[in-house]
Amino acid sequence: MDNTNGGNDGCAIHMSLQGKGGVGKSLAASVLAQYFMARGKPVHCIDADPVNKTLFQYRALEAKPLQLLQDGAIDCRAFDQLMEELLTEDGPFIVDNGASTFVPLWHYMLENDVPQVLRSGGKKLYVHTVITGGQALADTITGFAKLAETTLDKSIVVWINEFFGRVEHDGKPFRRLVLLCHRKYLVVLMETGSARLGTIRWPRTNGTMSWPRRPTDGFNDTCK
């Protein structure tokens, strides 16, 4: 993972987003935090999950809790405080979000052109999302699709979590995976090349999770 920092230690913001709970968002966030900490980076961890503050429970990460959701909507004042911190503090940020904040937070960020605001402030936003096998495959694919369809930046990092099963459909791996639109009973081909920065795979070995494999698609050179 060497260059999702854009070559500047203080410019990377890593945000975990996925509308399906229990698929490994917080685990991915903790792996990222440990990666940067092991390299001596001054990592800032923020847990914005309003229900299960998993990242906050990793004491060594010193994650700060943040309540972004208020009555089902984004608390503008809390988000403004977050933005001020993101724009003024040095070092990479890891922002872990819950499933319940996925839709309101992403829509709020798009409506307020947050990626561009961060870019203008010399920051780069990377969105980390998890796709898992098993029963949650369709839901996590749908969550990824919402992100991919609404961003023009090649800034999405996909974590393939195989703990619940292989991430494939009819033998097709992630790159050729189709989206099952259950409401209309249609099969829609999902082109993701323009939005996806790289892929990290979590294989399942002997019933346990192994350490994520090295990223693909040139992502090795993107995460300093």
Taking only the tens place, the pLDDT of each residue in 1-52 is 444 444 454 589 999 999 999 999 999 999 999 999 998 989 999 999 999 8
Residue 141 has phi, psi (to 5 degrees) of -65, -40
Where do we find the tokens 């229990």? 22
Contact, 188 vs 178, CB < 8 A?
A: yes
Q: What is the pTM of this model?
A: 0.80
d(CA 214, CA 201): 8
d(CA 38, CA 33): 9
Q: Which amino acid is at 61?
A: L
The predicted pLDDT at position 178 comes to 39
Ramachandran category for residue 159: left, alpha or beta (phi over 0 → left; psi -120 to 50 → alpha): beta
Chain centroid to Cα 115, Å, comes to 14
pLDDT at residue 162 above 50? Answer: yes
Q: Residue 73 gets which letter from DSSP?
A: E
Mean pLDDT of the chain: 79
Reference 33, options 64, 68, 6; nearest CA is 64
pLDDT at residue 152 above 90? Answer: no
Percent of the chain with pLDDT strictly greater than 90? 50
